[in-house]
Homo-oligomer: A and B are copies of this chain.
Amino acid sequence: MEEKLKKIKPYGDTLNDGAVQLSFTLPLEAGPRADAAALELSKKMGLEDVHVVHSNSLGLGFSFFVVYGKCRHLIDVEKLKFIETAFPLMEFDEVNRYIRMKIGRKITVAGACTGTDAHTVGIDSIMNMKGFHGNPGLERYSEITAYNMGSQVRNEDLIAKAIEVDADAILVSQVVTQKDIHLSNLTHLVDILEAEGMRDNVILVVGGPRITPALAKELGYDAGFGPGTLPQDVASFIAYEMARRKGGES
């Protein structure tokens, strides 16, 4: 793609043709009325040249639609706001070296999958020896001492552990997001930390499949990591952030 556009639209096979695919269910019996509703909805979403390419009954007065259309909306690429957690991405050895040089002592982290959330695989991928996709976990770093409390851990217990081991960073995993349970869970943790006067003494990191850097910031965390995160991402961030807070980096 040689051309650099400032204002973009989705692309099907021609630049800015606006091609978008939708699918959804409507609470209407399949038929011309439902098709018309699907068309109308697609138009309200800003599609032109709408084709309801498929519809079928789902039973009980519901019907399913697949739609293709051309989106009117333009995105101004230069005006996009997004949060990139700023830190230099380092590899395993580099991180250890960096910690030795810039911090001069081992870093301690405590982590858990909190609340009623029983998904350990995510937090284990980050913290346990084995790591993720061949990338070794925090436990394996010579300069990191990692405590992984597993899943279904109460926020209070995680904080108690952090106090006990004098953790530099707290790692929280949240996988289940139904009814936004993760939001209340995550906010609750920040609230207790603040109540305990601990918030500024730790680096607070959250991760999970529905976590984005933006959401993490919004909830009062120092960083957020989504799907596909590698342990080295987290290790790099924590090491850099500690150095930065010490004044060793800016």
Chain A interface (Cβ < 8 Å from any Cβ of B): 1, 5, 8, 10-12, 15-16, 19-28, 32-33, 35-37, 40-41, 44-47, 51, 60-62, 71, 73, 75, 77, 80-84, 210, 212-213
Contact = CB atoms under 8 A, between A and B. Distances in A.
A44 to B, nearest CB: 4
Contact of A71 (B11, B16, B41, B213): B41
A33 B28 CA distance: 38
- Copies of chain A in the complex: 2
Nearest to A65: B10
A57 to B, nearest CB: 12
A213 B10 CA distance: 29
A95 B26 CA distance: 34
A21 B22 contact: yes
A33 B27 CA distance: 36
A40 B9 CA distance: 11
Contacts of A15: 27
Contact of A46 (B16, B19, B44, B213): B44
Scoring A27, A47, A212 by chain B CB atoms within 10 A of each residue's CB, the highest score goes to A27
Contact of A35 (B11, B19, B82): B82
Nearest to A21: B23
A-B pairs, top 10 by smallest CB distance, nearest first, are A36-B82, A1-B61, A10-B24, A44-B73, A45-B45, A20-B24, A21-B23, A11-B25, A36-B80, A32-B82
A33 to B, nearest CB: 6
A51 B209 CA distance: 10
A81 B32 CA distance: 10
Nearest to A66: B21
Contacts of A33: 77, 80, 82
Given A20-B22, A21-B22, 5 more contacts: A5-B27, A11-B26, A12-B25, A45-B45, A46-B46
